[in-house]
Structure 1
Amino acid sequence: MDNTFSSYKIEDRSLVAFIKREIHNLALQSGFSVHRAAETDIIVAELTSNLLKYANGGEFLYRAREVKGVNEIEIYCLDKGKGIDNVVKIMNDGYSTSNTLGHGLGSIKRLSNDFQIYSLRDWGTVQYVRICEKADPKTPALPVGFNYDVVSVNYPGEIVCGDGYYVKHTSKGFQIFVGDGLGHGEHAHEAVEIAIKAFIRSKGEEAVDILRDIHDAVKKTRGLVATIAIADFKSQTWNICGIGNINTRIYRGLENKTYTPYNGIIGMNIPRTMKSTTVPYLKHQIIIMHSDGLRTRWNLNDLMSIIKQNSGVIAACLYKDNIRGTDDATVLVGKIT
């Protein structure tokens, strides 16, 4: 269930060859053909070259995963450079600001299965690339309902993540779990993995009941903090409850509300009396849940037109601006369509 991104800060060319080799090997291990792995090399080369050339470096996130039987590699390229004035214009072959052929971004677009850019002047740029083992089909239309993405990164130096997340679909709707094991490393990872298994097993229909089931399951672990958000399609409601410092907000247009969790540690001490918060489940809502690896003093409305972006780009933007760097960091963004 550990599906985190590898993260590297690229400040000069010393890491580029290593990252290219790592992703090339990941591609081959994921069933990519030699030709498709070579196309992946081109994408990585263009992304890292642009990162150094135009932004003086940034952060490079990547992972391999399987989605509905399809192997893919996901990449986020984040920088705090001068930004891009006209994203549409620079995507065209032949456009360049540095006396080159200007085929870079066009190549990424052609070779990838999905390529997204979000950029603001003097804020920087977030690029997202999805590369599947086969060049076709292109990105399918998103299903109507709930679409979500997660950016999750280990504490620097750790090989496992103390954060965890899971989305469980039920006959009535779906349930979201986001948790953070105390501290980081192996023991925090163990706590959150046991919590996820308890979340999957739980038959509770209220967030409070599920949290109590998790509390009983993790008593022999280090403990964790977590929030459960349940969407019920029939009643058109959210049912939300959390213990500890998982930040949860729901946006709809310019309106947003933060849901305050209870104090406590799951597996050690939780309130005797808890009550879930029930709020309307509406189209065009965006739910954001993140661990304390990100700062909480942010406002999505500060990023122009960000709600038009897909959920992964939104998550990456929040990560870019608010990562603390002192713990594991996880941000889940879901959009109601």
Structure 2
Amino acid sequence: MDNTFSVYKIDDRSLIAFIKREIHNLALQLGFSPHRAAETDIIVAELTSNLIKYASGGELLYRAHFNDDHNEIEIYCLDKGQGIENTAKIMNDGYSTSNTLGQGVGAIKRLSNDFQIYSIKGWGTVQYIKICDKSDFLIPLPTNELNFSALSVNYPGEKVCGDGYYVKQTKRGFQIFVGDGLGHGVHAQEAVQQAIKVFKQSGDSDPCAILRGIHDQVKKTRGLVATIASADYKSEHWSLCGIGNINTRIHNGLENKTYTPYNGIIGHNIPRTLNNTLVPYQKHQIIVMHSDGLRTRWNLNDLTSIIKQNPSVIAATLYKDNVRGTDDATVLVGKII
């Protein structure tokens, strides 16, 4: 299992039983007890039936995650339906808009270890759910200044993803890598995973130098495009460098700026001269990095209160509105706390 999400378009009730069974079996593979797997069934059933009932369909994305102290299943539920006017109200048991018992969203929240919902009237709804093997496990708070989430999906029909990302702590702060192997499939994955291996092992603080090191080590692969963003707590600056079309933006409140990468292909041809872009590093910034599997014509300021949401919801929102569906797609969102 890798970091990518499996994606199902939910437009017919006949799919619900299949998806429930698939996620149920996944839960058992992760070591969930039969009781916890049954609670997972309830969550999946409520999510999928609500998609059909209220939004005439949508998408369900899920993945398994192995951790040192717990295992978990992450689920996104996305729709472009009528939206919800009062999300706080629908999470109360007993509230219903369809003459039912009104326990759907309340049950999802109660049985999940983490539940987030974001909705705009006429735009649709994004829901994020994390289900851990232990129902009473408390999701730990971020241990450093970066709270991030990433969402990756494969090119339709592919079993592996040619995109990749990695975040690592450094002595001076942290570094973020987002890359996209040329094309899609196994060979694209080989290129980006080799690049991530070099990135992990590099002790350099200079994104340009790291990219040059990656370039030297991936020449036998198909090649890739990538951007590295390095945050330095002491100097209070970001250092950014990218080669190829990874879109990178940093938001400061209502202001945001896109940082243009160099032309080239890592592993094949890169510019002789590379320079980092220095950007002030500040509390409450939001950094967004994504591959060209998403369109670039988006603006967080167009979405009501989106910057108040956690990174997982912001990432899913950008995916919902902008995924092309013709390539691997990755979006990483980080909030400085």
Structure 2 match to 1:188? 188
Amino acid in structure 2 at the alignment position of 1:240 = L
CA deviation profile, 1:81-131 (whole Å, cap 9, x unmatched): 000000011100110000100001111111110111000011000001000
Contact persistence 1:230–1:239 (CA under 8 A): yes
TM-score, scaled to structure 1:
0.98
Paired residue secondary structure (2:314): helix
CA deviation profile, 1:182-234 (whole Å, cap 9, x unmatched): 00000000000100001111222111000000000100000000000000111
1:136-285 correspondence runs (5 A): 136-143=136-143, 145-285=145-285
Amino acid in structure 1 at the alignment position of 2:31 = G
Contact persistence 1:215–1:267 (CA under 8 A): yes
Q: CA deviation at 1:14?
A: 2.2
CA deviation profile, 1:54-100 (whole Å, cap 9, x unmatched): 00000100001023421000000000000000001110011000010
Deviates more, 1:317-326 or 1:105-114: 105-114
Structure 1 match to 2:50? 50
Paired residue secondary structure (1:31): coil
Amino acid in structure 2 at the alignment position of 1:286 = I
CA deviation profile, 1:149-174 (whole Å, cap 9, x unmatched): 00100001000000000001111111
Structure 2 Cα separation of the partners of residues 202 and 140 of structure 1: 28
Question: RMSD of the TM alignment (CA)?
Answer: 1.0
Deviates more, 1:9-18 or 1:245-254: 9-18
Deviates more, 1:11-20 or 1:123-132: 11-20
Amino acid in structure 1 at the alignment position of 2:317 = C
Aligned residues with identical type, % of pairs: 76
Amino acid in structure 1 at the alignment position of 2:254 = L
CA deviation profile, 1:266-309 (whole Å, cap 9, x unmatched): 00000000100011110000000000000000001011100111
CA gap of 1:144–1:205, structure 2 versus 1, over 3 A, is closer
Tell me the number of residue pairs that the alignment of Structure 1 and Structure 2 aligns: 337
Paired residue secondary structure (2:3): coil
Structure 1 Cα separation of the partners of residues 67 and 147 of structure 2: 14
1:319 is the counterpart of 2:319: yes
Structure 1 match to 2:98? 98
1:310 is the counterpart of 2:307: no
Q: CA deviation at 1:144?
A: 5.0
1:329 is the counterpart of 2:329: yes
CA gap of 1:141–1:220, structure 2 versus 1, over 3 A, is closer
Contact persistence 1:2–1:164 (CA under 8 A): no
Deviates more, 1:229-238 or 1:140-149: 140-149
Query: Please, which runs of 5 or more residues in structure 2 have no aligned partner?
Result: none
